[in-house]
Structure 1
Amino acid sequence: MKTNSFFQKASVVFSLFVLLNVFSTEVNAQIERVEPPFWWAEMETSEIEILFYGKDIAEYSVSTQEEVVINGVLKTENPNYLFVTIETKNLQPQTLHFNFSKKKRVKFTQEYELKERKENSALREGFSSADVMYLLMPDRFANGNPDNDSVKGLADKLNREAEGGRHGGDIQGIIDHLDYIEDLGATAIWSTPLLEDNDKGYSYHTYAQSDVYKIDPRYGSNEDYRRLAEEMHERDMKLIMDYVTNHWGAEHWMIKDLPTYDWIHQFPGYANSNYRMETQYDPHASAIDAKYCEKGWFVRTMPDLNQSNPLVLQYLIQNAIWWIEFADLDGFRVDTYSYNDKEGISKWTKAIMDEYPNFNIVGEVWLHNQAQISYWQKDSEIGALQDFNSYCPSVMDFTLHDALGNMFKEKAGWGSGMQKAYGNFVNDFLYPNTNNLLVFLENHDTGRFNEIYDQDFNSYQLGLTLIATTRGIPQLYYGSEIAMRGDKGKGDGDIRRDFPGGWESDKQNAFQASERTELQESFHSFTKKLLNFRKNSKAIHEGELTHYLPENNVYVYFRELADDKVMVILNNNEEEQNLDLNRFQENLNGISTGKEVLSGKQLQLKEKLSIAGKTPMVIQL
């Protein structure tokens, strides 16, 4: 009897062991993804919609072990998804336990963490006109960790010989050169996207994302990205994420198993955008033209997200907030902002700004008319004519960029040369906030300024001085400060060249002054001097802008904040010009001396002032 009892007990233990292992297997196999992967207590928006993904997950009912209010459980036509909305108000940081049941029996449990929020997280200060933004493409900037150049499971491997290949730059490369960027005078970094992009080719630009909760392993890890922010904040610098709301990549895991048919725009299947953003506000637009602009795919490999679907919109809102909170971000640049469903992107933007009222978001609105660009800025009176408010604080000044592409090649004329600069700023009355416009010579999608002007140092001085001292937030594209070229006509790869010295095998290291050519050093030293002056100039950051009609291709303007006054002169002539200073007395107001920032010279400002040909002057009065 004792022997039989022993075997009976052993049998029971063995059965429990088998059951536990089966149970464990079911847990691991049943839930493949939880997004957001965790959240925070004490957020302004107390509801959180959690996506549970796994084979036939919708067959289960959901409850929690804790006293948590479940406001809704949504099933879609795809049984692999459950969207569970909970109320987090008054919940302390803790680990929640979601029970998944069938026939009133709990089959498995999923933990979910509510983390403690960083103190004053909601009050973080975004980028502003006090900043200079340094735009870089991580794959082309610097390779700090060669071990992650190619990664198993990701299709596109290292191929530095190919213009459209992955070259190996990464987050560690950015961290390694933060001192260089800070020393240059930049105070913020806008990196093109870093999230996973598993396209088979051209994935280095990372705008066709395949997992929006994961840094691409070829750039590093989520922790590396957070470490980048920490390193920057120690230097009083700001980190801006390039966020994509309009589309994902065709390799995104959700695109391969859509939660709903209308998660993306379908025609059915693929149709390309006509790219005519004017149809978003054209009162005479045909329905079919408006449809193909907003709902058409940007390219075949980038399925167009449907922000009018509440599930999609909530997913995008939560993902954006998750990254701000997790990585401690200071701003977003939003790709293809005006291609989105405009009501959806407005709600997305407002939700983020409600959570972080001092945050900043700049939308890419690539249009060539100030009224049309203004339509997309927060509180635009033009948008209000159609009862529309984007709530987007900042937009990009593409009309100024258009003018900069040829103004320094032109002689004086009614609408040429420096008159183009004046004419751009004349239309500032259309914008609700000109200090929140992003101004730039170029970016990762345009021709390189130093290609257009054939590395002409004088033109670079005039151009950079203009964007660094006018209203708005200046943005510098990596490598401009060392005269980097790039021909848009040869393809995007040519305007996204590797920064020399970012790879150990490079023959030259332009991060080091000792290795720069004479031309590179002249560009760099000028950039450094100008941007570091700007860093401490309240008049440039916030001051009133008063400008004068250009005469003889010379453009003069003032920035004033109380007693802080700066006078800027841009001589676009080959010849020296003599200015009659009596014309500017309403701003000079009897001031007779000033220091020219770029040369360090003390100036007498009485009746006449000479300025050399093709030269800028920045005078601290």
Structure 2
Amino acid sequence: MKFLSKIYVLFLCVTFSVAAQIDKVEPPFWWSNMHNPELQIMFYGKNIARYEASVSNNITIKNVVKTENPNYIFITIDTKDIPASDFVFTFKDKNKVAFKQPYTLKNRNANSAQRKSYDASDMMYLIMPDRFANGNPDNDSSKWTLEKGNRNLPNGRHGGDIEGIINHLDYLQELGVTALWNTPLSEDNDPQGSYHGYAQSDVYKIDPRYGTNEDYLRLSAAAKNKGIKLVMDYVTNHWGAEHWMIKDLPSYDWIHQFPGYGQTNYRMTTQFDTNAAAIDAKYCMDGWFVKSMPDLNQSNPLVLNYLTQNAIWWIEYADLGGFRVDTYSYNDKTAIAKWTKAITDEYPNFNIAGEVWMHDQAQMAYWQKDSKIGAIQNYNSHLPTVMDFTLHDALGVAFNENDAQWDKGMIRIYENFTNDFLYPNINSILTFIENHDTARFNHSYKNDLSKYKMAIGLIATVRGIPQLYYGSEIGMAGDKDKGDADIRQDFPGGWKGDTNNAFTKAGRTAAQNKYFDFTAKVFQWRKTSKAVQYGKTTNYIPENNVFVYFRTIEGETVMVLINNNATQQTVATDRFKENIGSFTKGEDVISKQAIGLQKEIKMEPKSILILELQ
């Protein structure tokens, strides 16, 4: 008995020693049979760098890096031909074992490397989780995070969470959603305004006010079961000032320092301007987005490996269907290209949409994979998808320009498409009328349903991947001039006690149902149309503020007509013979009415017709 007691005391001492020495291990586990067999593991604990490490199971340690902060060791191992298994790191002090740390390689899911990601056949729905639906009021506040739930504060935490999203996947499915992009769900421990999630404080942990890592896995599985791919909003450019590593930097150059805070100039053009002053380029790439978001130094190999492995960890762990990357073009462009390539090397079909918020097609096309414009400077970002901000810009004003002019109205929209040749893959471009950072479309157009229909019908039928921002489909508005909170309002019906439940047909108002019904009908139909997903586009120069274009693929032709006039128009069809050919009629995908094509088509003011030709 006395002997067993001694063993128990020894066990307690060893357990305490491990707990005292190692606070974090990241990645917390990994997988066997990865494309890149080298794995960099970060061990963090008080004065851990004083120890020498070894590992069991005949695993080779390729490299050990100790930084100026003695609380970190970065150990790179070779996992090639190592099966899924448990093994142990041993840490010694003067050849004497001080403590041990177990580690696990797991089996990958079948066909993980070849997973299907989102593409031009999808419709992506953007949610701000804190503002969508509160499925679990018990996690509105957390003892682990600073900011507490308070729905009365416009910029506060309102309580939306992962459970709320899971509860309304049927709604998304009914709407025609096939890819779900949530703004960041990882922990953001800012004392105020943390709901947006872009100042992350732990990138291996879901924010407890949204749920747990296991809840995120449930969301991924439940969404996949309904044909919806889960898209993570990934942030490579910065972390939040409350990130645990920012509070105890592994090295001075883990972040960009001036020293300390230096404000970015936001001038992304300096990334490729051959005449840019070096200091201007530096402040674009290295400057902090805001003071509460320290800028990560991706040119530091330890940082780049950490970000790459964290991204791959989430893909593998949560069975993700894609990324959207925040502020892509503010990163060190050489490093972010390596990051992107490492991910797409691991997952060849994986799509990543980068936020390149610029207002010139050549400048945006520079950032797409295999760009001939980038190649002029021997640059390839390897980024599959960029966001079509120039189309967004045009859509924000064109529908208020009622009269035919040289450069306004539908000509403005048409001219955007004339530059499509600049993009190496025009089908892999994200189109949208708004997102969580822009003016709300329905506010800009004073909730004019006709203009909303024209815009949604257009992004549903032009090249690219259409993206819808939550609430647009029920007429939600919001004034950006009043601040970000106004364009990020709570979805009605997402909270107990809401008098308007827009998640159900019976709960929606008559006006909300008009928005929803049109949106759902267009995007459900879009799932069936290969022509609008991948077909060739033929644009006809707008006449009298009427824009006509065709999408064609073998066996299918779709004709789209948009009348941007405030009056009825009659459109003669003889001009479109090269596309109409022997077709005699078209079925309107909304009304299901047959419309003759022989002579002319009458169009109501401010209207769109989407016709499947027969």
TM-score bucket (shorter structure): over 0.9
1:243-258 equivalent positions in 2, closer than 5 A: 243-258=234-249
2:152 maps to 1:194: no
Distance 2:122 2:230 in 1: 11
2:575 maps to 1:583: yes
CA deviations 1:321-358 (Å, max 9, x no partner) are 00000000000000000000000000000000000000
Alpha-carbon shift at residue 19 of structure 1 (Å): 3.9
2:231 maps to 1:240: yes
Distance 2:244 2:584 in 1: 66
1:179-218 equivalent positions in 2, closer than 5 A: 179-218=170-209
Quote the residue 1:506 is aligned against: 498
CA deviations 1:198-220 (Å, max 9, x no partner) are 00000000000000000001000
2:335 maps to 1:341: no
* Larger radius of gyration between Structure 1 and Structure 2: 1
- Counterpart of 1:275 (choices 260, 263, 266) is 266
Q: Secondary structure at the match of 1:257?
A: coil
Alpha-carbon shift at residue 13 of structure 1 (Å): 6.7
Give, as a single letter, the amino acid of the residue that structure 2 aligns with 1:343.
Answer: T
Distance 1:112 1:474 in 2: 42
CA deviations 1:45-69 (Å, max 9, x no partner) are 1010000000011111111121101
CA deviations 1:104-134 (Å, max 9, x no partner) are 1211110001001001000001100000000
Distance 1:407 1:460 in 2: 12
Give, as a single letter, the amino acid of the residue that structure 2 aligns with 1:548.
Answer: Y
Distance 1:119 1:466 in 2: 38
Quote the residue 2:404 is aligned against: 412
- Counterpart of 1:537 (choices 529, 535, 542) is 529
Percent same amino acid among aligned pairs?
Answer: 59
CA deviations 1:415-453 (Å, max 9, x no partner) are 000001100000001100110010000000001000000
CA RMSD for the aligned pairs?
1.0
Distance 1:614 1:597 in 2: 17
Quote the residue 1:3 is aligned against: none
Quote the residue 2:67 is aligned against: 76
Give, as a single letter, the amino acid of the residue that structure 2 aligns with 1:446.
Answer: T
- Counterpart of 1:383 (choices 367, 374, 379) is 374
2:130 maps to 1:139: yes
Alpha-carbon shift at residue 15 of structure 1 (Å): 5.6
2:13 maps to 1:22: yes
Alpha-carbon shift at residue 612 of structure 1 (Å): 1.1
Q: Secondary structure at the match of 1:555?
A: strand
Alpha-carbon shift at residue 364 of structure 1 (Å): 0.1
Q: Which moved more, 1:65-74 or 1:391-400?
A: 65-74
Q: Which moved more, 1:182-191 or 1:489-498?
A: 182-191
How many residue pairs get matched? 612
Quote the residue 2:468 is aligned against: 476
Distance 1:15 1:230 in 2: 47
Alpha-carbon shift at residue 22 of structure 1 (Å): 2.4
Q: Secondary structure at the match of 1:162?
A: coil
2:455 maps to 1:459: no
Alpha-carbon shift at residue 24 of structure 1 (Å): 2.0
Quote the residue 1:149 is aligned against: 140
2:478 maps to 1:486: yes
Give, as a single letter, the amino acid of the residue that structure 2 aligns with 1:103.
Answer: K
Normalized against structure 1, the TM-score is what? 0.98
Quote the residue 1:564 is aligned against: 556
Q: Secondary structure at the match of 2:418?
A: helix
Q: Which moved more, 1:12-21 or 1:431-440?
A: 12-21
2:48 maps to 1:57: yes
2:86 maps to 1:95: yes
CA deviations 1:9-34 (Å, max 9, x no partner) are 95x77665544432221111100000
Give, as a single letter, the amino acid of the residue that structure 1 aligns with 2:339.
Answer: W
Quote the residue 2:597 is aligned against: 605
Distance 1:515 1:28 in 2: 52
Q: Secondary structure at the match of 2:174?
A: helix
Quote the residue 1:394 is aligned against: 385
Give, as a single letter, the amino acid of the residue that structure 2 aligns with 1:263.
Answer: W
Alpha-carbon shift at residue 608 of structure 1 (Å): 1.2
Quote the residue 2:437 is aligned against: 445
Distance 1:583 1:110 in 2: 74
Give, as a single letter, the amino acid of the residue that structure 2 aligns with 1:370.
Answer: Q
2:11 maps to 1:35: no
2:427 maps to 1:435: yes
Q: Secondary structure at the match of 1:123?
A: coil
Q: Secondary structure at the match of 2:419?
A: helix
CA deviations 1:133-173 (Å, max 9, x no partner) are 00010000000011100000200101101111000000010
Distance 1:212 1:123 in 2: 25
Distance 2:4 2:191 in 1: 50
Distance 1:23 1:513 in 2: 60
Give, as a single letter, the amino acid of the residue that structure 1 aligns with 2:383.
Answer: C
Distance 1:13 1:345 in 2: 55
Give, as a single letter, the amino acid of the residue that structure 2 aligns with 1:403.
Answer: A
Q: Secondary structure at the match of 1:422?
A: helix
Distance 1:307 1:407 in 2: 40
Give, as a single letter, the amino acid of the residue that structure 2 aligns with 1:377.
Answer: Q
Distance 2:562 2:356 in 1: 28
Q: Which moved more, 1:98-107 or 1:17-26?
A: 17-26
Alpha-carbon shift at residue 243 of structure 1 (Å): 0.2
Alpha-carbon distance change, 118 to 414 in structure 1, aligned in 2, over 3 angstroms = same
Give, as a single letter, the amino acid of the residue that structure 2 aligns with 1:387.
Answer: N
2:308 maps to 1:317: yes
Give, as a single letter, the amino acid of the residue that structure 2 aligns with 1:225.
Answer: Y
Alpha-carbon shift at residue 477 of structure 1 (Å): 0.4
Quote the residue 1:523 is aligned against: 515
Distance 2:175 2:29 in 1: 38
Give, as a single letter, the amino acid of the residue that structure 1 aligns with 2:572.
Answer: D
Distance 1:20 1:159 in 2: 45
Q: Secondary structure at the match of 1:122?
A: coil
2:612 maps to 1:620: yes
Distance 1:376 1:127 in 2: 19
CA deviations 1:434-490 (Å, max 9, x no partner) are 100100000000010000000000100111111110000000000000000111000
Give, as a single letter, the amino acid of the residue that structure 2 aligns with 1:143.
Answer: N
Alpha-carbon distance change, 224 to 15 in structure 1, aligned in 2, over 3 angstroms = closer
Give, as a single letter, the amino acid of the residue that structure 2 aligns with 1:398.
Answer: F
Distance 1:198 1:54 in 2: 21
Q: Secondary structure at the match of 1:63?
A: strand
Unaligned runs of 5+ in 1: 1-8
Alpha-carbon shift at residue 87 of structure 1 (Å): 0.5
Give, as a single letter, the amino acid of the residue that structure 2 aligns with 1:308.
Answer: S
Alpha-carbon shift at residue 518 of structure 1 (Å): 1.5
Q: Secondary structure at the match of 1:128?
A: coil
Quote the residue 1:289 is aligned against: 280
Quote the residue 1:4 is aligned against: none
Distance 1:518 1:494 in 2: 23
Quote the residue 2:95 is aligned against: 104
Quote the residue 1:554 is aligned against: 546
Alpha-carbon shift at residue 590 of structure 1 (Å): 2.1
Give, as a single letter, the amino acid of the residue that structure 2 aligns with 1:247.
Answer: H
Give, as a single letter, the amino acid of the residue that structure 2 aligns with 1:374.
Answer: A
